[in-house]
């Protein structure tokens, strides 16, 4: 018998010494049968019991020697348990301010956060800190466990007053789904089953909630983002692009655009060890075979041309700083975003956020465990989304180039227009500014293709009209005067994101070949194919452009806001 498939829920817990977090986790592990007798025996044998119960459940989760000796949790520890419905991964993190980075680490992969509150003490700064970090790291569900209810006589009034306090403060945070539980981790009330000691509580026990809380919150199936991780090339006949879907859905036949080149093609197949797939969705790790041989390597991204990410060298992000040496404006780090690693400079520190009060303060730097909003400029364009909309393409890490340490974690809040800096484009010696072809594509909704049309000039103008009416930026270049510069003119137009129709009367192939060699997206129309009927001829050219993928069948405009 193969076990029924379970769902996977990852949650984080943050708590300070004495608020009962380790006991809560120990209780969940114990009551779901995830603790073996020899492990319990080892805890009993340790001779330590800081609890008032028969056995100190918190010892089940204490890992390292130093922690055992000092009785504190200093690092993220991962725990596992399962029920018939779900498998759970707990990222168990310490709650002290000096471990903010550990809390952020544990929260980064979590679908849900459990925040513990001591019922005797109410909402303390540390509870606020935990909720703030959960919100900052984009965790969709927050469960507030109001613990030690046994010490306040399971008072409904106490519970509701803490809930009200917490809700009042959390209103300023972006926490989509909040739930409150009156529990005693020590005695097990409302952990695995409903407690008879809280008859006034109508909600579920914690475990039931964990087993049923919807998992689709925060998952993005709309915007295709496939960061290319590795090129699989077993032989000359096969070239596959391997990666883990960050968001969106991939199916054979889908039109995809490769960034940064801006070239489009179609998905040919999704080959796998278990046979070809008909569909891939996050978080699947798949291999994509494309119809056309286009140059794609690690760090590139396949996206839906009609739902582009931001393509920019600049961004604004919340940073959690994780190393001693402070983050300061002007510093350079390695920024790793999806599968791309680039050098990036901190251009500005907008403010620091006091994690206890959430107040914004002016700052010249961020120290260890501090959080702030900063502007960053990367050496190469990144393909990203806002973290709130897409956790996988909105996150990055900063690496200290001197020590190789993971120095900071970033959550992108806003895209910033690219500016400054120039790089040389080798073909045609045109200086390319910082606007990328992909940005222009996003604005215009189509590729800057050059159409080489050896035909009567009227046909070129008719084609221009039809393309214009479909929303394209387009210009006719006719050979009335300077034929020998047509490829250069077309190239300039293309660089500006504009389609060029080169209308040539004679079939001088030398100019055509020169243009074909110099221009990336080039379509030459064979005069022999053209109908004598103008409308038919134009329709043929349009469908040809659609087939090559240069012209989407429907153009969606982007106002330009927020590129």
Only one of the segments 35-43, 417-425, 458-466, 533-541 lies at the binding site for other proteins (rule: CB under 8 A); that segment is 35-43
Residue 102 interacts with other proteins (CB under 8 A)?
yes
Minimum separation from the CB atom of position 269 to other proteins (A): 11
Minimum separation from the CB atom of position 153 to other proteins (A): 36
CB 457 within 8 Å of CB 505: yes
Residue matched to tokens 């973290």: 387
Minimum separation from the CB atom of position 40 to other proteins (A): 10
- Binding positions for other proteins, 249-278, rule CB under 8 A: 249, 271-274
Residue matched to tokens 């190469």: 380
> Among 18, 64, 388, 536, which residue interacts with other proteins (rule: CB under 8 A)?
64
Q: Rounded to an integer, what distance in angstroms lies between the CA atom of residue 411 and that of residue 154?
A: 40
> What is the size of the binding site for other proteins (CB under 8 A)?
75
> Among 44, 89, 178, 540, which residue interacts with other proteins (rule: CB under 8 A)?
89
Residue 239 interacts with other proteins (CB under 8 A)?
no
Strand order in the sheet with 112-118: 77-82, 86-94, 7-15, 112-118, 141-147, 177-182
Mask of contacts with other proteins, 4-23, x by CB under 8 A? -xxxx---------------
What φ, ψ does residue 390 adopt, rounded to 5°? -160, 100
Minimum separation from the CB atom of position 81 to other proteins (A): 9
Residue nearer to other proteins on the CB measure, 10 or 442: 10
DSSP E strands: which ranges in 1-59?
A: 7-15
Sign of CA dihedral 360, 362, 363, 364: positive
Minimum separation from the CB atom of position 310 to other proteins (A): 18
Residue 236 interacts with other proteins (CB under 8 A)?
no
CB 113 within 8 Å of CB 134: yes
Residue nearer to other proteins on the CB measure, 368 or 542: 368
Mask of contacts with other proteins, 156-195, x by CB under 8 A? ----------------------------------------
Minimum separation from the CB atom of position 178 to other proteins (A): 23
**Which CA distances in Å does 560 have to 127, 310, 498, 541, 551?**
40, 10, 16, 29, 19
Minimum separation from the CB atom of position 68 to other proteins (A): 8
Minimum separation from the CB atom of position 102 to other proteins (A): 7
Residue nearer to other proteins on the CB measure, 152 or 232: 232
- Binding positions for other proteins, 293-312, rule CB under 8 A: 298
> Among 48, 53, 72, 75, which residue interacts with other proteins (rule: CB under 8 A)?
75
Residue nearer to other proteins on the CB measure, 229 or 548: 229
Q: Rounded to an integer, what distance in angstroms lies between the CA atom of residue 561 and that of residue 451?
A: 30
Residue in 19, 173, 9 with CA at minimum distance from that of residue 94: 19
Only one of the segments 76-84, 178-186, 357-365, 460-468 lies at the binding site for other proteins (rule: CB under 8 A); that segment is 76-84
Mask of contacts with other proteins, 444-473, x by CB under 8 A? ------------------------------
Residue nearer to other proteins on the CB measure, 386 or 477: 386
Tokens of 68: 């055992």
Tokens of 124: 């303390």
Residue nearer to other proteins on the CB measure, 98 or 531: 98
Tokens of 85: 């419905």
Q: Rounded to an integer, what distance in angstroms lies between the CA atom of residue 159 and that of residue 168?
A: 14
Residue nearer to other proteins on the CB measure, 30 or 119: 30
Residue nearer to other proteins on the CB measure, 232 or 524: 232
> Among 32, 86, 255, 368, which residue interacts with other proteins (rule: CB under 8 A)?
86
C-alpha 39 chain-centroid distance: 38
DSSP 322-353: -SSSPEETT-EEEEEETTEEEEEEEEEEEEEE
Q: Rounded to an integer, what distance in angstroms lies between the CA atom of residue 415 and that of residue 375?
A: 10
Mask of contacts with other proteins, 314-343, x by CB under 8 A? --------x-----------x-xxxx----
The vertex-29 CA angle with 23 and 33, nearest 5°, equals: 140
> Among 32, 49, 82, 193, which residue interacts with other proteins (rule: CB under 8 A)?
82
Residue 3 interacts with other proteins (CB under 8 A)?
yes
Mask of contacts with other proteins, 210-229, x by CB under 8 A? -----xx--x-x-------x
Q: Rounded to an integer, what distance in angstroms lies between the CA atom of residue 418 and that of residue 439?
A: 10
Q: Rounded to an integer, what distance in angstroms lies between the CA atom of residue 494 and that of residue 474?
A: 9
Mask of contacts with other proteins, 118-147, x by CB under 8 A? ------------------------------
> Among 52, 54, 65, 469, which residue interacts with other proteins (rule: CB under 8 A)?
65
**Which CA distances in Å does 18 have to 71, 97, 185, 196?**
10, 15, 12, 25
What φ, ψ does residue 545 adopt, rounded to 5°? -65, -35
Residue 108 interacts with other proteins (CB under 8 A)?
yes
Q: Rounded to an integer, what distance in angstroms lies between the CA atom of residue 156 and that of residue 153?
A: 9
- Binding positions for other proteins, 380-439, rule CB under 8 A: 391-392, 395-397, 399, 404-406, 409
Q: What percent of the residues of the chain are helix, what percent strand, and what percent coil, each to the nearest 5?
A: 25, 30, 40
89: which DSSP letter?
E
Residue 47 interacts with other proteins (CB under 8 A)?
no
Residue nearer to other proteins on the CB measure, 84 or 253: 84
């Amino acid at each position: 018998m193969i076990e029924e498939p379970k769902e996977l829920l990852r949650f984080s817990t943050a708590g300070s010494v004495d608020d009962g977090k380790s006991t809560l986790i120990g209780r969940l592990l114990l009551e779901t049968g995830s603790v073996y007798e020899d492990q319990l025996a080892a805890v009993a044998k340790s001779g330590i019991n800081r609890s008032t119960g028969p056995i100190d459940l918190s010892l089940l989760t204490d890992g390292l020697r130093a922690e055992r000796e000092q009785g504190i949790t200093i690092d993220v520890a991962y725990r596992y348990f399962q029920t018939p419905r779900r498998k759970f991964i707990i990222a168990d993190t310490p709650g002290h301010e000096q471990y903010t980075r550990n809390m952020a680490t544990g929260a980064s992969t979590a679908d849900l956060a459990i925040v513990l509150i001591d019922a005797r003490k109410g909402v303390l700064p540390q509870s606020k800190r935990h909720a703030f970090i959960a919100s900052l790291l984009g965790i969709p569900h927050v469960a507030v466990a109001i613990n030690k209810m046994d010490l306040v006589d399971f008072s409904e009034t106490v519970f509701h007053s803490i809930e009200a306090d917490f809700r009042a403060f959390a209103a300023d945070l972006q926490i989509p789904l909040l739930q409150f539980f009156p529990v005693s981790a020590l005695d097990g009330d409302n952990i695995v089953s409903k407690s008879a000691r809280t008859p006034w509580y109508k909600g579920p026990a914690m475990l039931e909630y964990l087993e049923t809380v919807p998992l689709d919150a925060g998952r993005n199936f709309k915007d295709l983002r496939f960061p290319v991780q590795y090129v699989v090339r077993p032989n000359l006949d096969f070239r596959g692009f391997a990666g883990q879907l960050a968001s969106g859905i991939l199916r054979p036949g889908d039109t995809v655009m490769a960034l940064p080149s801006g070239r489009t093609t179609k998905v040919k197949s999704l080959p796998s060890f278990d046979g070809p797939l008909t569909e891939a969705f996050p978080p699947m790790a798949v291999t994509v075979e494309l119809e056309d041989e286009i140059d794609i390597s690690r760090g590139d991204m396949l996206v839906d041309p009609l739902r582009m990410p931001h393509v920019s060298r600049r961004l604004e992000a919340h940073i959690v700083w994780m190393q001693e040496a402070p983050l300061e404006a002007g510093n350079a780090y390695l920024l790793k975003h999806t599968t791309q690693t680039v050098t990036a400079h901190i251009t500005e520190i907008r403010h620091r956020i006091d994690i206890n009060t959430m107040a914004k303060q002016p700052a010249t730097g961020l120290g260890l465990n501090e959080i702030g909003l900063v502007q960053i400029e990367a050496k190469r364009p990144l393909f990203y989304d806002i973290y709130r909309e897409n956790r996988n393409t909105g996150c990055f890490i900063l690496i200290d180039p001197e020590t190789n340490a993971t120095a900071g974690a970033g959550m992108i809040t806003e895209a910033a227009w690219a500016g400054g800096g120039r790089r040389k484009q080798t073909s045609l010696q045109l200086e390319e500014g910082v606007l990328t072809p992909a940005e222009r594509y996003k604005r215009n909704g189509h590729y800057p293709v050059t159409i080489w049309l050896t035909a009567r000039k009227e046909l070129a103008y008719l084609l221009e009209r039809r393309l214009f009416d479909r929303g394209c930026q387009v210009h006719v270049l006719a050979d009335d005067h300077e034929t020998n510069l047509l490829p250069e003119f077309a190239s300039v137009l293309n660089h500006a994101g504009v389609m060029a129709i080169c209308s040539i009367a004679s079939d001088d192939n030398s100019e055509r070949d020169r243009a074909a060699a110099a221009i990336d997206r080039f379509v030459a129309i064979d005069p022999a194919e053209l109908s004598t009927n103008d409308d038919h001829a134009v329709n043929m050219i349009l469908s040809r452009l659609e087939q090559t993928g240069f012209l989407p069948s429907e153009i969606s405009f982007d106002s330009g806001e927020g590129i």
